[in-house]
């Protein structure tokens, strides 16, 4: 029997790969994001349900849960780089809103009617597990996501539900391509050298394929992971 799966931030990158991975596995997938055109591109004829919503808006998130979901993947997130002294309060609040508050709202709504065997999965980051010199707001938000996951896991354990986080390193997405281009322009490097700089913390020396993150999510959503709860699964080539 197919599961009902929600993926937030599904208009591109990891979210798009997640949505397609679960749809290709035979699940009934609902995808959400702020741009309907991007969501339709994600669907690409797979029969997903596209719902426009901003995860920082409580009412819009609540409206997504008109029926129970078996798997809820809080993927929506993002944030720019910048030193703390240059981070405005608006930058800080926006970074926490989309990464941390969005995950909170999504999980809270998802739990309301979630049945035994349900799965809550947050897409964190290696920044959930360590800091960085120019990502203070982002790392703080992603550390918060992991604290939320570990706390929720204890709340839902006796209900037969699990809550986990996937913490990938640098993933090969359009956002990564923008980062490579930015490094090229800033340091006058060619594409390969700029990419090598970005993935320097990964002992395997390459970007992570979105499908490798999807494989982790499919595992956490499977019966085989029924005793994996409150875990931060690092997909980072040994960086963490």
Calpha distance 104→214 (Å, rounded): 21
Distance of CA 41 to the CA centre of its chain: 19
The answer for residues whose C-beta is within 8 angstroms of residue 225's C-beta and 6 or more apart is 119, 162, 164, 219
**Residue 54 Rama label (left phi>0; alpha psi -120 to 50; beta):** beta
Phi, psi of 125 (to 5 degrees): -170, 165
Q: Which of 22, 107, 138, 170 is catalytic?
A: 138
Determine the longest span between alpha carbons in the chain, in angstroms: 55
> Is there a catalytic annotation at residue 138?
yes
Active-site residues: which are they? Answer: 138
């Amino acid at each position: 029997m197919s599961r009902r799966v929600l993926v937030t931030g599904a208009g591109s990158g990891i979210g798009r790969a997640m949505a397609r991975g679960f749809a290709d596995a035979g699940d009934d997938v609902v995808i959400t994001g702020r741009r309907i055109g991007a969501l339709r591109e994600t669907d690409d004829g797979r029969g997903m349900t596209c719902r426009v919503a901003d995860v920082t808006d409580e009412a819009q998130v609540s409206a997504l849960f008109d029926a129970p979901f078996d798997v809820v993947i809080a993927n929506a997130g993002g944030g720019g780089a910048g030193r703390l002294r240059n981070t405005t309060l608006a930058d800080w609040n926006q970074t926490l809103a989309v990464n941390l508050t969005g995950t909170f709202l999504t999980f809270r709504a998802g739990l309301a009617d979630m049945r035994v065997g349900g799965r809550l999965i947050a897409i964190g980051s290696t920044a959930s597990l360590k800091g960085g010199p120019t990502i203070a707001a982002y790392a703080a938000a992603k550390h918060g996501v992991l604290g939320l996951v570990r706390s929720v896991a204890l709340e839902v354990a006796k209900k037969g539900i699990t809550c986990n986080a996937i913490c990938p390193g640098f993933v090969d997405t359009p956002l990564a391509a923008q980062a490579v281009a930015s490094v090229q322009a800033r340091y006058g490097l060619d594409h390969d050298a700029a990419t090598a700089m970005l993935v320097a913390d990964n002992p395997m020396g390459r970007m992570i394929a979105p499908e490798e993150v999807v494989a982790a999510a499919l595992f956490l959503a499977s019966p085989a992971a029924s005793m994996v709860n409150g875990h931060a699964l690092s997909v980072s080539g040994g960086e963490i």
